[in-house]
Amino acid sequence: MENFVKEFLLSAPSKALATNGPQGLNVVPVSSIFVEENNIILINYFMQKTLENILETKTVSLAVWKELYGYQIKADCDYKEEGEIFDKYVLKVKEILPKRIVKGVLILTINDIFDIAINKNTKEYLLGGVN
């Protein structure tokens, strides 16, 4: 994943995670997002239907956007409620949102990244080539 995509993922004001599974299609807003190597890390504070879907069907889609520019990321999701990566993000979240309780960590392994801008020019927008 290119650096400008990573930076956009972290700073985009709008983010939504889509799943499909026993609970049917489900889309939820995402607030806490981290990028580690080429993985996207999301934090579960309140997920119910989303979690049930992820535990059954590992494929997810994450959309991030600002104004008319953005990306859709298709990924496989691994869910952790314990272990080293879970503990690491419990501590990170405690620093920035001390009242939140981390129920789990979603680790998204990226399969595809799609530009969702009308003219497929999100890269140019992010790099300053679009007015």
Q: How confident is the model at residue 130 (pLDDT cuts 50, 70, 90)?
A: low
And the tokens for 63? 């959309």
Do the Cβ atoms of 125 and 69 come closer than 8 Å?
A: yes
- pTM, to two decimals: 0.93
Q: Give the H or E element holding residue 65.
A: strand 59-66
User: Does 111 map to a domain?
Assistant: yes
User: Does 131 map to a domain?
Assistant: no
- The pLDDT value recorded for residue 7 is 93
User: Does 112 map to a domain?
Assistant: yes
Q: How confident is the model at residue 131 (pLDDT cuts 50, 70, 90)?
A: low
Number of domains in the chain: 1
> For 33-85, how does the pLDDT look when each residue is reduced to its tens digit (9 = 90+)?
999 988 999 999 999 999 999 999 999 999 999 999 999 999 999 999 999 99
> For 86-105, how does the pLDDT look when each residue is reduced to its tens digit (9 = 90+)?
999 999 999 999 999 999 99
User: Does 96 map to a domain?
Assistant: yes
Do the Cβ atoms of 67 and 121 come closer than 8 Å?
A: no
